[in-house]
Amino acid sequence: MTITKKRKNFLKVGSSIAMACALGSVTLASSAHAQESSWSPSQQVSMVVPFKPGGGSDIFGRAATAGIEEVRNNIDISVQNIVGGSGAVGYSTLLQRKGNPNYLLASETGAAIILPIMNDVPYNWDKLTPIAEAAEDHTMIIVANDSPYKSISDLVDAAKEGQVNIAISGKGSPASLSFKLIEKDQDVSFNRVVFESGSANNAALLGGDVAAAGANPGEAIELIKADKVRALTIFKDERFDRAPLSEVPTIAEAGIDVDITPTLQFRGVLASPGLSEAQQTYWENAIKEWSKTEGYKTYINNNYLTPKVRTGDEFADFLAKQHDTIAPLLKETD
């Protein structure tokens, strides 16, 4: 066990300069039995990012790591991209670290909730320890600037009369679920074209191949500012408070009365199963304190997210609610 561990660490160093500090974790300090009430990590902590470097999860994982290191002295967190299986490999890694408080997971709705509903994976969100939600991302419905559709009802009317192509990234994506909610509420159906990413959706929209697309604010903001696309609505309870997103009507304002829970994409932190209360509280507080820093604000602003911190039971309840609202929707989406 130790030998494999050492070798793994060695290889990592050989492969990446950025992880050079990982060698430090070979020598394990043995104070795991420190008093529970005052628990704090005594060895290097890993922030597992279950997706490739450069993506939304990676940006979150790195921002959270920097934030926790800022609010907690003498703590060393290394970001590890454990990629594979659309996130499943990273989640399983934590599942195997039962009771180990030195592993955190940068998580979001897709891999935490949707993947286990759609596929047979060895984990589920409720098998891990919920630490905290740190931010929320919303879904907007966007059209090209020269599109004849000025509102969601225009789009719905068009779908009643003929084929309306929409771009989504994957059947289980927040965009797909958002359109599904409109379809159910208005009793119409859109013609789904699945693309591999938000930017591919945008390209299809700009090229005129689809009438509308789902996008989160970060993906669409620059195109909106450049008058290339318009947002018809946003699945959010209240409007954004900064221009130009403040002009986008909420889905309720657009006349569609639905629960937006399934369309939200949370960004937060989960931990290994079986953490003690003290360990859980330690990490919860770290995230809470991070959310009060400048770095957090910058992260939220740069990525056009909504600040939202939920911890403990509140976070667990949110996860359960997302699961319970998404599962039936996915079953109805063929």
Q: Which residues bind another protein (CB under 8 A)?
A: 11-12, 14-19, 52-55, 58-59, 62, 80-86, 88-89, 92, 118-122, 163, 165, 170-172, 191-197, 199-200, 202-204, 206-210, 218, 221-223, 225-226, 228, 298, 302-303
Nearer to another protein, 31 or 199 (CB): 199
How far is residue 301 from each of residues 111, 136, 137, 307, measured CA to CA in Å?
Answer: 24, 12, 12, 9
What SS3 class is residue 58?
helix
CB of 331 to another protein, least distance (A): 13
CB of 166 to another protein, least distance (A): 10
Nearer to another protein, 201 or 272 (CB): 201
304: left (phi over 0), alpha (psi -120 to 50) or beta: left
CB of 114 to another protein, least distance (A): 8
Considering only the C-alpha atoms of the chain, give the largest distance between any 2 of them, rounded to a whole number of Å.
69
CB of 221 to another protein, least distance (A): 6
CB of 171 to another protein, least distance (A): 5
CB of 222 to another protein, least distance (A): 2
Nearer to another protein, 173 or 279 (CB): 173
For residues 125 and 305, give the distance between their C-alpha atoms in angstroms, rounded to a whole number. 22
Tokens read off for 113: 């909730």
Nearer to another protein, 32 or 88 (CB): 88
Name residues whose C-beta falls within 8 Å of residue 156's C-beta, 6 or more positions apart in sequence: 182, 186, 188
Q: Are 205 and 143 in contact (CB under 8 A)?
A: yes
Nearer to another protein, 136 or 284 (CB): 136
Name residues whose C-beta falls within 8 Å of residue 152's C-beta, 6 or more positions apart in sequence: 141, 182, 232, 233, 251, 254, 255, 256
CB of 62 to another protein, least distance (A): 7
Nearer to another protein, 82 or 188 (CB): 82
How far is residue 299 from each of residues 35, 76, 285, measured CA to CA in Å?
Answer: 34, 20, 18
Nearest-10 crossing angle of helices 56-71, 294-302: 170
Nearer to another protein, 31 or 119 (CB): 119
CB of 36 to another protein, least distance (A): 32
Nearest-10 crossing angle of helices 198-206, 217-225: 30
Q: Are 149 and 292 in contact (CB under 8 A)?
A: no
Nearer to another protein, 48 or 251 (CB): 48
Q: How many CA atoms lie within 13 A of 230 on its CB side?
A: 13
Tokens read off for 77: 């967190």
Q: Work out the angle at residue 201's Cα, subtended by the Cα atoms of residues 196 and 205, and round it to the nearest 5 degrees.
A: 155
CB of 46 to another protein, least distance (A): 11
Nearer to another protein, 280 or 325 (CB): 325
